[in-house]
A and B are shown apart, each in its own frame.
Chain A
Amino acid sequence: MTSLLARDLCVDRGGRTIVKNISFDLRAGEALVALGRNGAGKSTLLRAIAGFLPLSGGRLSHTGAEAEIPLPELSHYVGHADGLKSALTAAENLAFWARMLARSDETPSPSSALQRVGLKRLADFPVAYLSAGQKRRVALARLFMAPRPLWILDEPATALDIASQQVLAEAFAEHRAAGGMILAATHAPLGLVDAATLDLGSAPADLGGNA
Chain B
Amino acid sequence: MLKYANPTNFLALAGRLIPWLAAATALSLGAGLFLTFFVAPDDYQQGSSVKIMYLHVPSAWLSMMCYVIMTSAALGTIVWRHPLADAAQKAAAPLGAIFTLLCLVTGSLWGKPMWGTWWVWDARLTSVLVLFLIYLGLIGLWQTIEEPAQAARAAAILTLVGVVNIPIIKFSVDWWNTLHQPASVFKIGGPAISGSMLWPLLIMAVAFTFLFLTLHLMAIRNEILRRRLRRLSIDAAHAEEKSEATA
In the complex, whether A130 has a CB less than 8 A from a CB of chain B is yes
Chain A interface residue number, banded: 10 to 19
In the complex, whether A163 has a CB less than 8 A from a CB of chain B is yes
A129 touches which one: B234, B244, B245 (CB < 8 A)?
A: B234
Q: Which secondary structure characterizes the binding site on chain B?
A: helix
CB distance from B65 to the nearest CB of A (A): 34
Q: By the criterion CB–CB under 8 Å, are B234 and A134 in contact? A: no
User: In the complex, how many residue pairs between chain A and chain B have their CB atoms under 8 Å apart?
Assistant: 24
- Residues of B near A131 (CB, < 8 A) are 237-238, 241
CB distance from A135 to the nearest CB of B (A): 11
Kindly supply a per-residue 1/0 record for chain B positions 90-122, scoring 1 wherever the CB is within 8 Å of any chain A CB and 0 otherwise: 000000000000000000000000000000000
Measured CB to CB, the nearest residue on chain A to B243 is A121
Q: By the criterion CB–CB under 8 Å, are A128 and B146 in contact? A: yes
In the complex, whether A161 has a CB less than 8 A from a CB of chain B is yes
A134 touches which one: B146, B230, B237 (CB < 8 A)?
A: B237
For the complex, give the distance between the alpha carbons of A153 and B34 in Å: 72
Measured CB to CB, the nearest residue on chain B to A128 is B146
Q: By the criterion CB–CB under 8 Å, are A161 and B245 in contact? A: yes
CB distance from B28 to the nearest CB of A (A): 41
B245 touches which one: A122, A125, A163 (CB < 8 A)?
A: A163
CB distance from A115 to the nearest CB of B (A): 9
B237 touches which one: A118, A122, A161 (CB < 8 A)?
A: A122
- Residues of A near B240 (CB, < 8 A) are 119, 121-122
CB distance from B244 to the nearest CB of A (A): 4
For the complex, give the distance between the alpha carbons of A128 and B237 in Å: 11
Kindly supply a per-residue 1/0 record for chain B positions 218-247, scoring 1 wherever the CB is within 8 Å of any chain A CB and 0 otherwise: 000000000000100110011011001100
Q: By the criterion CB–CB under 8 Å, are B244 and A119 in contact? A: yes
Q: By the criterion CB–CB under 8 Å, are A118 and B244 in contact? A: yes
CB distance from B147 to the nearest CB of A (A): 10
Measured CB to CB, the nearest residue on chain B to A163 is B245
For the complex, give the distance between the alpha carbons of A122 and B238 in Å: 10
Q: By the criterion CB–CB under 8 Å, are B241 and A134 in contact? A: yes
Max chain A C-beta neighbours (<10 A), residue from B233, B237, B245: B237
Measured CB to CB, the nearest residue on chain B to A117 is B244
CB distance from A187 to the nearest CB of B (A): 23
CB distance from B78 to the nearest CB of A (A): 26
For the complex, give the distance between the alpha carbons of A119 and B238 in Å: 11
A118 touches which one: B233, B234, B238, B245 (CB < 8 A)?
A: B245
Measured CB to CB, the nearest residue on chain B to A118 is B244
Measured CB to CB, the nearest residue on chain B to A126 is B233
Within 8 A of B (CB), among A81-120: 118-120
- Residues of A near B244 (CB, < 8 A) are 118-121
- Residues of B near A125 (CB, < 8 A) are 233, 237
9 contacts between A and B (CB under 8 A): A119-B240, A119-B244, A121-B240, A129-B234, A130-B237, A131-B238, A134-B237, A134-B241, A161-B245
**B interface, CB within 8 angstroms of A:** 146, 230, 233-234, 237-238, 240-241, 244-245
Question: Told that A129-B233, A129-B234 touch, could you supply 20 new A-B pairs with CB distance under 8 A?
Answer: A118-B244, A118-B245, A119-B240, A119-B244, A120-B244, A121-B240, A121-B244, A122-B237, A122-B240, A125-B233, A125-B237, A129-B230, A130-B237, A131-B237, A131-B238, A131-B241, A134-B237, A134-B241, A161-B245, A163-B245
**A interface, CB within 8 angstroms of B:** 118-122, 125, 128-131, 134, 161, 163
**A-B CB proximity, top 6 nearest:** A118-B244, A121-B240, A129-B234, A163-B245, A129-B237, A125-B237
